[in-house]
Structure 1
């Protein structure tokens, strides 16, 4: 089986799709290098990320299919689903044939899976814009999160706009990636072990934790407390860094 491998970036994926589309020997599968399971039977071709190829595929999706489809494709890429590259490749090929009408083929497994996975990622993004909690470390706001999907690239603008006058770091400890914002702009980076340990173990000034606890107490009416609704709206798996819920136990 002929397999194309790309790097972790969205640019790498679209570069691989460009080469797959124009190659006389088309691949049967496309994988991110991190998800590919090596075997002795596959013919593996390592694809280099190419900015020109990326932009051509990016613009072709936007113009020949739709901006909405491009957004869904990006969300599926961020899902880190093992077969996401193949699913996206199949969807793009289908989209280039059908144009915007591809979105109407809701009974097609490819379209169905693109919709389903992209909605899951979008939903987690929405939840984390409300569930991120910060502690203050040396005048920098710091938060550690463990999302199912790689949502840092799509929550960065929300917090940049919300905390425009603050230095902050949002650290995805599952992937060891972080948004670092310096009051002007943000960038995505990985953290060294020493940086990670220093941030995770740093003492909090307590200011933000106190504010969250006071806010939770002031909005909570004991006589109307509904723990079942609270559990649904604030799932337990998000609570490890939600100080106001810890305080209420």
Structure 2
């Protein structure tokens, strides 16, 4: 009974799948080193990330299963659920057997859970794109904070990089202390937190104007907090200017 331990990265997980496949060894569990607790009743094997092996597994998934399957796997990985590692592993093994039609097997628990979790992560990425509000914290530098349930930062940054090609911006995931930084050419995700900086006077004036506008167009007699929470969960309100 073997447990595979890896560094928690997507390439690391793909490396685990490669090693398991070529060693013909099915793991009892797959764990990230961040949450790993030594198991005294089995063998724990640490697998070092190998980019070449990771790429081979990803190419195999695209060729033998589908590009869509690889996307679903990545989205499930971004859920950050510890159980997702074994779920991905089982899905890939099943996909290598079934092939390109795997996602038609929705009656299979593995396929069903992968599709369902992938859709949840994808849905939250769209929700973040709709909700993000940038503030100009320095002249020409825009900042936005988010705290999504899932790690959707890698999914939303390409959208804003394409939309705001001529702007410097930072999207800060305060829940994970990760920041996506765009410099008008390319973007990276880093664990360096942006410094707390006062917003510019122009941005402060804009925010005040928007709050006044929102207050004036609202009709007290028609306020329905239950309906608001239904369409806009309260956990997102702190990133909306009009709710601050």
C-alpha distance in 2 between matches for 1:207 and 1:159 = 24
Decide which moves more: 34-43 or 148-157.
34-43
The size of the alignment, in residue pairs, is: 240
Shift of 1:224: 6.1
Q: Are residue 213 (structure 1) and residue 211 (structure 2) matched?
A: yes
Q: Are residue 162 (structure 1) and residue 157 (structure 2) matched?
A: no
1:48-96 CA-partner distances (Å, limit 9, x unpaired): 1111111111011111111111111000000001111100000000000
Report the counterpart of residue 141 of structure 1 in structure 2: 142
Q: Structure 2-normalised TM-score?
A: 0.90
Structure 1 residues 102, 221: closer, same or farther in 2, change over 3 A? same
1:106-136 CA-partner distances (Å, limit 9, x unpaired): 1111011101111110111010001112222
Decide which moves more: 152-161 or 33-42.
33-42
Asked whether the equivalents of residues 171 and 180 of structure 2 are also in contact (C-alpha less than 8 Å), the reply is yes
SS in 2 for 1:100: coil
C-alpha distance in 1 between matches for 2:2 and 2:108 = 25
C-alpha distance in 1 between matches for 2:89 and 2:213 = 47
- Residues 36-47 of structure 1 correspond to what in structure 2 (within 5 A)? 36-47=36-47
Shift of 1:157: 0.5
C-alpha distance in 1 between matches for 2:92 and 2:210 = 45
1:191-242 CA-partner distances (Å, limit 9, x unpaired): 1xxx55x32xx21121552464367468757776554433222211001121
Structure 1 residues 220, 166: closer, same or farther in 2, change over 3 A? farther
Asked whether the equivalents of residues 38 and 44 of structure 2 are also in contact (C-alpha less than 8 Å), the reply is no
Asked whether the equivalents of residues 170 and 180 of structure 2 are also in contact (C-alpha less than 8 Å), the reply is yes
Asked whether the equivalents of residues 145 and 172 of structure 2 are also in contact (C-alpha less than 8 Å), the reply is yes
Gaps (5+ residues) in structure 1?
A: none
Structure 1 residues 55, 226: closer, same or farther in 2, change over 3 A? same
- Residues 90-109 of structure 1 correspond to what in structure 2 (within 5 A)? 90-109=90-109
Asked whether the equivalents of residues 18 and 57 of structure 2 are also in contact (C-alpha less than 8 Å), the reply is yes
C-alpha distance in 2 between matches for 1:20 and 1:5 = 12
Q: Structure 1-normalised TM-score?
A: 0.88
- Residues 52-131 of structure 1 correspond to what in structure 2 (within 5 A)? 52-131=52-131
C-alpha distance in 2 between matches for 1:119 and 1:103 = 13
Asked whether the equivalents of residues 103 and 111 of structure 2 are also in contact (C-alpha less than 8 Å), the reply is yes
Cα RMSD of the aligned pairs, angstroms, is: 2.0
Question: Which of 228, 235, 238 in structure 2 is aligned with 1:237?
Answer: 235
Q: Are residue 23 (structure 1) and residue 23 (structure 2) matched?
A: yes
Q: Are residue 203 (structure 1) and residue 198 (structure 2) matched?
A: yes
Structure 1 residues 7, 207: closer, same or farther in 2, change over 3 A? farther
C-alpha distance in 2 between matches for 1:37 and 1:119 = 30
Asked whether the equivalents of residues 134 and 208 of structure 1 are also in contact (C-alpha less than 8 Å), the reply is no
1:151-205 CA-partner distances (Å, limit 9, x unpaired): 11100101112222211111111111110011111101111xxx55x32xx2112
C-alpha distance in 1 between matches for 2:135 and 2:5 = 40
